[in-house]
């Protein structure tokens, strides 16, 4: 079983940092909190260490890992960051839920980048985790801390269930603020392609780039992760509009509704409440927890509310769509 250490992101504690630093330096694996979801980290310069991440998650080896840095000033040592035209503007979004694809240097191991000449880089917004990375002396490769294909983990209980015996150390902290993974972008001069939508939206990126587009599966510029099944509960999950949900569940209780506070007020029976539509971050922060609760429930399956795809809800719905089937 892994060693679990309870921390707070804003509380630097020497004694608590030490075992994590030693584990990373000696090629082990450490679960750490970020503002998006929990990460499962290992030294990004070591093939052996990164291989442990793939093994623990059962992750396909052609799906590259995001590499986490503590400081912008380290990027040039490991990547061709200085070649990114809009780097100054992008740097202002860090620490934050943004991953940028950039050409890598040899120090980043090929296992981390899945053999690609590029690497996804990010500076997470948790002071404790950044200090852990800083003291490790190398950047830390870390995908989400879940078994491949399952919803990302937003609490240490989820990780214990799935990865308890496959990780050396787990840092447990307050729940991640966003609860869905970072925005992944590929910048090319004044253009940018969103490979995975997240908390930074198309509107945010249009303040930096002249044009912003989305990559679609099958297109040349593709994030390898896009071809894999993601974020799915084990039970069947349908998605539908609020009215369609009310119609579907009337007089029946085989599907567990996963809905906003507003729609929940119209449902008397058992339901899982995500949060208010007026506060999209509350909805994303509870999404994966609800998908896991669905699996633990006695219901045959679930039915989740489809939100209008504008602003941050584009990112929320990206995950909802991957986890569900549209109800005809």
Residues that bind ligand AMP (CB under 6 A): 63-64, 66, 101, 113, 116, 118-120, 143-144, 181, 184, 195-196, 223-225
Q: How far apart are CA 8 and CA 205, in angstroms?
A: 30
Contact 259, 245 (CB under 8 A): yes
The minimum distance between CB 268 and ligand AMP, in angstroms, equals 37
Contact 141, 50 (CB under 8 A): yes
The minimum distance between CB 85 and ligand AMP, in angstroms, equals 18
The one of ligand AMP, Mg ion, none whose footprint includes residue 116, by CB under 5 to 8 A per kind, is: ligand AMP
Structural tokens at position 251: 């007089």
The minimum distance between CB 281 and ligand AMP, in angstroms, equals 19
Q: Which is nearer to ligand AMP, 182 or 201 (CB)?
A: 182
Q: Is residue 260 a contact point for Mg ion (CB under 5 A)?
A: no
Q: How far apart are CA 129 and CA 138, in angstroms?
A: 13
Structural tokens at position 60: 């396909």
Q: Which is nearer to ligand AMP, 19 or 224 (CB)?
A: 224
Binding to Mg ion (CB under 5 A): which residues in 96-155? 143-144
Q: Is residue 36 a contact point for Mg ion (CB under 5 A)?
A: no
Q: How far apart are CA 92 and CA 84, in angstroms?
A: 14
Structural tokens at position 207: 């303040």
Contact 287, 179 (CB under 8 A): yes
Cα 266 → chain centroid? 31
The minimum distance between CB 247 and ligand AMP, in angstroms, equals 35
Q: Which is nearer to Mg ion, 113 or 144 (CB)?
A: 144
Q: Which is nearer to ligand AMP, 185 or 255 (CB)?
A: 185
Q: How far apart are CA 150 and CA 270, in angstroms?
A: 24
The minimum distance between CB 144 and Mg ion, in angstroms, equals 3
Residues lying near Mg ion in the complex (CB under 5 A): 143-144
């Amino acid at each position: 079983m892994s060693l679990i250490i309870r921390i707070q992101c804003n509380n630097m504690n020497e004694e608590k940092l030490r075992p994590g630093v030693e584990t990373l330096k000696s090629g082990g694996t450490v679960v750490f909190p970020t503002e998006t979801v929990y990460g499962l980290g290992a030294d990004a310069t070591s093939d052996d260490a990164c291989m442990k991440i793939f093994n623990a998650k059962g992750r396909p080896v052609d799906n590259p890992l995001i590499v986490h840095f503590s400081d912008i000033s380290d990027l040039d040592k490991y990547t061709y960051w200085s070649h990114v035209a809009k780097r100054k503007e992008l740097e202002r979004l860090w620490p934050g839920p943004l991953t940028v694809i950039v050409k890598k240097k040899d120090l980043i191991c090929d296992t981390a980048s899945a053999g690609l000449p590029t690497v996804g880089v990010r500076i997470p917004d948790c002071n404790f985790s950044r200090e852990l990375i800083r003291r490790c002396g190398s950047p830390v490769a870390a995908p989400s801390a879940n078994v491949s294909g399952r919803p990302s983990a937003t609490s240490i209980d989820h990780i214990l269930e799935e990865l308890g015996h496959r990780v050396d150390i787990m840092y447990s902290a307050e729940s991640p603020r966003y609860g869905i993974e970072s925005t992944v972008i590929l910048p090319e001069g004044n253009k940018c392609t969103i490979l995975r939508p997240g908390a930074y939206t198309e509107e945010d990126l249009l303040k930096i780039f002249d044009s912003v587009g989305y990559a679609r599966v099958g297109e040349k510029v593709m994030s390898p992760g896009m071809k894999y099944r993601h974020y799915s509960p084990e039970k069947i999950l349908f998605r539908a509009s609020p009215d369609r949900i009310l119609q579907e569940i009337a007089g029946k209780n085989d599907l567990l509704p996963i809905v906003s506070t507003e729609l929940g007020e119209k449902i008397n029976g058992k339901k899982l409440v995500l949060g208010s539509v007026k506060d999209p971050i509350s909805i994303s922060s509870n999404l994966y927890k609800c998908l896991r609760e669905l699996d633990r429930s006695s219901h045959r399956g679930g039915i989740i509310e489809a939100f209008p795809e504008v602003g941050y809800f584009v990112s929320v719905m990206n995950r909802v769509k991957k986890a569900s089937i549209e109800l005809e």
